[in-house]
Amino acid sequence: MDRVIIFDTTLRDGEQSPGCSMNHDEKLRMAALLDEMGVDVIEAGFPIASPGDFNSVKAIAESTKNAIIAGLCRTKKGDIEACAQAVAPAKRRRIHTFVSTSPLHMKHKLNMQPDDVIAMIAESVAFARQFTDDVEWSAEDGSRSEDDFLARAVETAIKAGATTINIPDTVGYALPTDYAAKFTMLLNRVPNIDKAVLSVHCHNDLGLAVANTLAGVAAGARQIECTINGIGERAGNAALEEVVMAIRTRNADLPYTNNIDTTKITGISRALGEITGVSVQPNKAIVGANAFAHESGIHQDGVLKNPQTYEIMTPESIGLSKNDLVIGKHSGRHAFKKKMEVLGHDLGDNALEEAFAKFKNLADRQKKISDEDLIALVS
Ligand code: KIV
Ligand code: ZN
């Protein structure tokens, strides 16, 4: 009951992030890394979007060893057929189809009456089920949909054969309390809800994607849709590494299990940065360059005495070999000595005093002190 399915959409929603498009080989490389890391579902693309996307989804379906391969499609038969063909070679395949359910989207985007949307859900899900028994249905703009209509739409999708029901916070508008309430409402009101897995999909427009994700899971969702480094439309999606490390670090309060090998986090985050040319900001949680770096003398001293003083998780747990002591003007003697030892210079008391004075002088003039600068001080 407490196993959460990790559904990675780096190659689909993530790729919709400006500047983050990937070519065929890059997508295959990312898919292999995601599979190795243990994600349960890889959403490999949107097959109808372009021949390139179709071919990448198909190649990922052919080569992936463990994960379920999903493709996204709208409700049109041609979309669903393209998706079915692209994921067909996978050992385990999923068709993920979606339609908007909020009053705003139905009126202005779809230009459809709610009853017609219900009919379309029934038809598209049933059609997708002809190709696979693993069909996910998403209520686009689900968090801004009316409860009565959303409950009816979800019941219809499950009746037509959907096995996963995803309620996206498409525009990143929800607060954790409202988002959780949507899941509670569905669990209480939809008679066939026990026949499907509920899923969260949160965007980060208000910086709440991870908080909303965890709130949805606490309310009963058991699939998390997320991306590496949190890339995705506009402000991005919930970051896989943040969600997974929150669950691992606070497991007494978030008692869920998953299949992710967290020691692969740093490697995959850097691979994605290298592929897209978009690296994360230095203070990004978990994978930012400063996430395990301690600069102030007080913090450095504490971490050297006992890492738990200022670290809630170990660098090794995300695949970093050691904590990174950043040496700057706030650093103390203890950290400076330690850093010099790492750089191969075990300084005696006098040499240490002399080098430390020179270092403080340099740090007053220079913002960043590199390893080379430190070595130059003592050579
Ligand atoms: O944000 C969203 O609504 C989506 C759906 C297409 C799943 O990405
Ligand atoms: Zn999305």
**What is the SS3 assignment for the chain?**
CCECEEEECCCCCHHHCCCCCCCHHHHHHHHHHHHHHCCCEEEEECHHHCHHHHHHHHHHHHHCCCCEEEEEECCCHHHHHHHHHHHCCCCCEEEEEEEECCHHHHHHHHCCCHHHHHHHHHHHHHHHHCCCCCEEEEEECHHHCCHHHHHHHHHHHHHHCCCEEEEEECCCCCCHHHHHHHHHHHHHHCCCHHHCEEEEEEECCCCCHHHHHHHHHHCCCCEEEEEHHHCCCCCCECEHHHHHHHHHHCCCCCCCECCCCHHHHHHHHHHHHHHHCCCCCCCCCCCCCCCCEECCHHHHHHHHHCHHHCCCCCHHHHCCCCCEECCCCCCCHHHHHHHHHHCCCCCCHHHHHHHHHHHHHHHHHCCCCCHHHHHHHHC
Distance 211 CA to ligand 2 centre (A): 16
Distance from the CA of 100 to the center of ligand 2, in angstroms?
12
Q: Are the C-beta atoms of 198 and 161 separated by less than 8 Å?
A: no
* Cβ count near 314 (within 10 Å): 13
Q: Give me the pLDDT at residue 338, please.
A: 84
In this prediction, residue 84 carries a pLDDT of 98
Q: How far is the CA of 278 from the centre of ligand 1 (A)?
A: 22
Residue 300 pLDDT: 87
**For residue 345, what pLDDT is reported?**
81
- Is the pLDDT reported for residue 342 higher than 80? no
Task: Give residue-wise pLDDT tens across range 214-249.
Answer: 999 999 999 999 999 999 999 999 999 999 999 999
Residues above pLDDT 90, as percent of the chain? 84
Pocket test for ligand 1, best of 15, 102, 140, 182 (most atoms within 8 A of CB): 140
Q: Which atom of ligand 1 is nearest to the CA of 9?
A: 8
Digit-coded pLDDT (tens) for 206-217: 999 999 999 999
Q: How confident is the model at residue 296 (pLDDT cuts 50, 70, 90)?
A: confident
pLDDT tens digits along 297-310: 899 899 989 999 99
Distance in angstroms (rounded) separating the CA atoms of residues 231 and 43: 14
CA 63–ligand 1 middle distance (angstroms): 26
Pocket-testing residue among 7, 8, 12, 13, ligand 1, by greatest number of atoms within 8 A of Cβ:
13
Closest residue (by CA) to atom 5 of ligand 1?
A: 140
Domain ranges of the chain: 5-276, 293-378
pLDDT of 323: 53
**Segment 44-68 mean pLDDT:** 98
Render pLDDT for 85-124 as a digit per residue (tens, 0 to 9): 999 999 999 999 999 999 999 999 999 999 999 999 999 9
Atom index in ligand 1 nearest the CA of residue 98 equals 6
Spatial separation of the C-alpha atoms in residues 83 and 96, rounded to whole Å: 8
| Mean pLDDT of the residues in the chain | 95
Query: Ligand 2: distance of its center to the CA of 77 in Å?
Result: 22
Q: Which CATH class is domain 5-276?
A: alpha beta
Report the nearest-CA residue for atom 2 of ligand 1: 170
In the chain the first and final C-alpha atoms are separated, in Å, by: 60
Q: What pTM was computed for the model? A: 0.90
Distance of CA 291 to the CA centre of its chain: 17
Distance CA 8, CA 131 (A): 22
Rounded CA gap, 255 and 252, in Å?
Answer: 6
**What's residue 324's pLDDT?**
65
Q: How far apart are CA 67 and CA 307, in angstroms?
A: 35
Q: Which residues line ligand 1 (CB under 6 A)?
A: 13, 98, 138, 140, 166, 168, 170, 201, 203
Provide the b/e sequence for 137-173 (b: ≥16 CB within 10 Å).
bbbbbbbbbeeebbbbbbbbbbebbbbbbbbbbbbbb
To 5 degrees, how large is the angle CA 227–CA 228–CA 232?
45
Nearest C-alpha neighbor of 196 from the set 143, 138, 247: 138
